[in-house]
Amino acid sequence: MFRRRLTAMVCSVAALGLLATGCGGTDNGGSAAEKKTGEVTFWSFVKGSDKVAEAFNRTHPDIKVNFETVPSGQEYYSKLSNAVKAGTVPDVAVVEYPQLPEFATQGKLESLDGTLGPLVDKRFPQSTRKLVQLGGKTWGVPRDAAPLMLYYRNDFFKTHKIDVPKTWAEYRNMTERVKKADPKARGGVLYTDNPGLLSALTWQAGSQWFSTKKDAWKVSLDDAPSRKVADFWGDLARKDLVSSLSSLDPFWTSVQQNRTVAYVCASWCAGAQQATVADQKGKWAVAPVPTWDGKPASAMYGGSSFVVPKGAKNSGAAAEFIKWITTDPVGMKAWVSSGTSSMFPADPELVPVTKSAFPTDYFGGQDVYAVGSKSYDAVVPGWTWGPVMGTTNTAIIDQLPKVAEGNVKLSDVLTGAQKATVKDIQHRGMTLAP
Amino acid sequence: MASLSARAQRRTAAMLLAPFFVLFSAVTVAPLLYAGWMSLFTTRTSGLGFGGTEEVFAGLDNYVRALSDPAFRDGFITIAAYVAIYIPVMIGGALALALLLDSALVKARAFFQLALFLPHAVPGLIAALIWVYLYTPGLSPVIGFLSAGGLDISFLSADNAVFSAANIAVWEWIGYNMVIFYAALQAVPGETLDAAKIDGAGGIRTALSIKVPMIRPAIALSVLFTVIGSVQLFTEPKVIYSASSSIGSSWTPNMYVQAAAFTHNDFGLAAAASLLIALFAAVLSFLVTRFSRSRSQA
């Protein structure tokens, strides 16, 4: 309160001296949003960001984008958050879908209603729009979707005559057969450090961890579909039918050493798999993610959007840049120009652009993007991320390793995260639906 | 004349002290005051939260929340367990090594001194990264070797993390403290040692009854610094956490503060908790000083 008054005071003093720069102004867009020239600072950690900035600068002489590479993960979000506090924000920044509502509810993003809102309405499917449009406003523009797929070792499955599972019951069966065929190999993984895949699997099962009812948040991390998924994976982990590993080096090492022969991941894993385990070329294949009832259903694990942080100085040019890198075919092509990214565009019309840039020989000529497209179409609509995902995710991550150790049930982990989330939402003064 | 030179002297003293006080106020006092100020506020929003936020005066609410949070309190239990393992092993080990170096038994004294001190030259973060590599199953040659011998140890599990963290710290600090003790031992007068020898004291007896009591102030100082350092335990467990989250994001009080500020975006709580940690460390160092002084006077 005091600080606000202080700012107001400083501003009025400045106004007296006819130096009214930077006071008031930024909220309502105004002239800054209309201006489409000048310099744009761009923060991103996703692959190809440097290429896309270069390509934009080549084709847009009026705007100069200065790309700054940033670390990924929690450190980045702290950095961005602190930049808003310190008034040193970039004009464009990447924010992954799960983190977007938290930034928006903390007043750290400019609303894009007046600039890119109509574009988002027009170009993206409803399930994706719901990730960036919250509280009736548009906060970010989707770049990529990350529909789920099943990755498996074709050679291993063929040798041991294992069928590719279509339902989760068959999946369980598959993990048992994999372990029997090779006691060191596993047909899946429960990450010990990353709740993203788990939440995607509950999403696919029809859970809605977060939803809004009028002016209130509804939190249901431990609803029935969510518990079903947690019990299923918790049991697989406890019985050692899937391995429990960190999603970073230990996971990829296990793939390299033939200890992981199947796993569920998003579309982007195709590129990661190809780059990290190059010598298993031709051995892998993809299939639709298994479902509970055999009918197509999917969800997203990852994916990113681009935002204009609060206090950005050149939001007009920023909007131009964001528009180009998310919905322009030339911009989309620049993202994947290195040929190593299997990024799946959130705008379905741009799929042919990325598809043509991704070599298929690693997956034995299989059309990875066709599987991705089907999965994207089947994403269960209605999912929204919550306003305190830092708290929600940490509450899950802190307990995940204990599931494999057998000390904690995975569904109880979700119940604990539910409590921590509700408490934090209340503390921040937001309304909770009964 | 005399008063003038006294004034000149005072001016010189002020000039020489000024840089210290300027830096001290800028990097210690000012942040403390700012943290104190911040600890009285909390960020609030309303409804769905998309209408912006405001800073609201919260009184002592952040302090109450920190103290009533089991996660924060458990951090101090972690520290207690860590100190109970770390201090005896590290101080005892450093003392034993210093006494060995000081005895006539050791050849190549300078080499051992350097070799034992070397780990301390490695920055704490790098040290933690190296050790976590050795602790990570699937990557570590040590774990591979042990499990080939039928021994499966999980260095990163919640139960063993105290030992794993203490182990890193011992490796880092034992040589440093050994050098301090060794230097103190050089100050033990030769005639005292000669007298002990004439009275028939052997090497071990001399070490325990003469040398150790005479360097007690140095030991007390090391214990004090180590205890305060332990309260601030952060780097090693943070790196362990990044490899396996089973210890939890708030395993030590400083980790709790970091999570509050940068994961939960709760700067008021983080400020209040840091001030509580500072207070705890101040009280603890007071007690350790009192305790060791009364012991050395006795």
Q: What CATH number is given to the structural domain containing B231?
A: 1.10.3720.10
Q: Per the CB < 8 Å rule, is A134 touching B48? A: yes
Predicted confidence band of residue B3 (pLDDT cuts 50, 70, 90): low
- Please, what are the domains in chain A? 29-145+302-357 (3.40.190.10), 148-298+388-427 (3.40.190.10)
Residue A267: what pLDDT?
Answer: 95
The verdict on a CB contact (< 8 Å) between A249 and B53 is no
Question: Within a domain: residue B43?
Answer: no
Element (H, E) at A93: strand A92-96
This model of the complex carries an ipTM of: 0.84
Residue A8, pLDDT score: 40
* Nearest residue, CB atoms, A400 vs list B41, B245, B263: B245
CB-based contact A430 B265, cutoff 8 Å: no
The pLDDT score that the predictor gives to residue B139 is: 77
Which residue in this structure is represented by tokens 């259903």? A297
Task: Tell me phi and psi for residue B44, to 5 degrees.
Answer: -125, 150
**Distances from the Cα of A393 to the Cα of A195, A206, A414, A422, angstroms:** 6, 19, 10, 13
Does residue B212 register a pLDDT over 80? Answer: yes
Task: Give me the phi and psi of B224, to 5 degrees please.
Answer: -60, -50
**What is the structure's pLDDT at A33?**
58
Q: Which pLDDT score is estimated for A21?
A: 38
Q: Which residues of A touch B136 (CB under 8 A)?
A: 249-250
- Are the beta carbons of B139 and A217 separated by less than 8 Å? no
Cβ contact, residue pair B265, A401, below 8 Å: no
Q: Are B245 and A193 within 8 A, CB to CB?
A: yes
Query: Is A106–B158 a contact, with Cβ atoms under 8 angstroms apart?
Result: no
Does position B46 have pLDDT exceeding 50, yes or no? Answer: yes
Exposure letters A408-433 (e unless 16+ CB within 10 A, then b): bbbbbbbebbbebbbebbebbbbbee
List of E strands, A216-364: 216-219, 243-245, 262-266, 284-288, 304-307, 344-345
| DSSP-based three-state secondary structure for A112 | coil
In angstroms and rounded to an integer, the radius of gyration of the C-alpha atoms of chain B is 25
Contact residues on chain A for B158, CB-CB shorter than 8 A: 401-402
Residue A103: list chain B partners with CB under 8 A: none
Quick check: is B50 in a domain?
no
Considering the domain boundaries, does residue B34 fall inside one?
Answer: no
The residue of chain B with its CA nearest to that of A255 is B138
Question: Token digits for A341?
Answer: 């990214």
Among A136-145, B55-64, B125-134, which is the least confidently predicted range? B125-134
Mutate which: A72, A133, A246, A255, vs B, most B CBs within 10 A: A246
B21 falls within a domain: no
φ, ψ for residue A302, nearest 5 deg: 100, -160
pLDDT at res. B2 = 53
**Mode of pairing for the β-strands spanning A38-44 and A92-96:** parallel
- What is the least distance, in Å, from the CA of A149 to any CA of chain B? 26
Tell me the C-alpha distance between B147 and B208, whole Å.
40
Q: What is the number of domains present in chain B?
A: 1
In a domain, B37, yes or no: no
Q: Tell me the β-bridge partners of A42.
A: A67, A92
- The answer to whether residue B108 is domain-embedded is yes
- Structural domain including B154 reads 59-297
So what's the pLDDT on residue A32?
54
Q: Residues A359, A365, A366, A367: what is their CA dihedral angle, to the nearest 10 degrees?
A: 50
- pLDDT at A5 (0 to 100): 41
Q: Tell how strand A243-245 and strand A189-191 pair up.
A: parallel
Do the domain assignments include residue B39? Answer: no
**What pLDDT, in 10s, does the model give residues A192-250?**
999 999 999 999 999 999 999 889 999 999 999 999 999 999 999 999 999 998 888 88
Give residue B57's pLDDT.
Answer: 95
Rg (Cα) of chain A, in Å, rounded? 23
Inter-chain contact A391–B263, Cβ cutoff 8 Å?
A: yes
* SS3 readout for chain B: CHHHHHHHHHHHHHHHHHHHHHHHHHHHHHHHHHHHHHCCEEEECCCCCCCCCEEEECCCHHHHHHHCCHHHHHHHHHHHHHHHHHHHHHHHHHHHHHHHHHCCCCCCHHHHHHHHHHHHHCCHHHHHHHHHHHHCCCCCHHHHHHHHCCCCCCCCCCCCHHHHHHHHHHHHHHHHHHHHHHHHHHCCCHHHHHHHHHCCCCHHHHHHHHHHHHCHHHHHHHHHHHHHHHHCCCHHHHHHHHHCHHHCCCCCHHHHHHHHHHCCCCHHHHHHHHHHHHHHHHHHHHHHHHHHHHHHHC
Residues of A in contact with B43 (CB under 8 A): 106, 428
Q: How far apart are CA B263 and CA B255, in angstroms?
A: 11
Residue B52 lies in a domain: no
More confident call, B92 vs A404: B92
Give residue B297's pLDDT: 54
Residues of chain A below pLDDT 50: 1-30
Contact B249 A398 (CB under 8 A): yes
pLDDT of res. A249: 84
- Give CA–CA dist B224/B129, Å, rounded: 27
- Candidate from B50, B55, B158 with C-beta closest to A105: B50
Which residues of B fall within a CB distance of 8 Å from A397?
A: 245, 249
Spatial contact of A335 and A354, defined as CB atoms under 8 Å apart: yes
| The pLDDT of residue B89 | 97
Please enumerate residues of B whose Cβ is less than 8 A from a Cβ of A.
41-57, 136-139, 157-158, 243-246, 248-250, 259, 261-266
Q: Which residues of A touch B257 (CB under 8 A)?
A: none
Contact call for A250 and B137, based on CB within 8 A: yes
Using the beta-carbon criterion (under 8 Å), do A428 and B157 form an inter-chain contact? no
**What would the mean pLDDT of B205-229 be, rounded to a whole number?**
91
Q: Which of B39, B50, B136, B240 to mutate to test the interface with A (most CBs of A within 10 A)?
A: B50
Q: Of the candidates B45, B55, B138, which has its C-beta nearest A105's C-beta?
A: B45
Query: Which residue, A290, A417, A313, A328, is CA-closest to A116?
Result: A328
Check residues B19 and A406 and name the one with the higher pLDDT.
Answer: B19
Q: What residues in A contact B56, CB-CB < 8 Å?
A: 1
> With contact defined as beta carbons under 8 Å apart, do B276 and B60 qualify?
no
Q: CB A387 to CB B57 under 8 A?
A: no
Q: Which residue of B has its CA nearest to A108?
A: B52
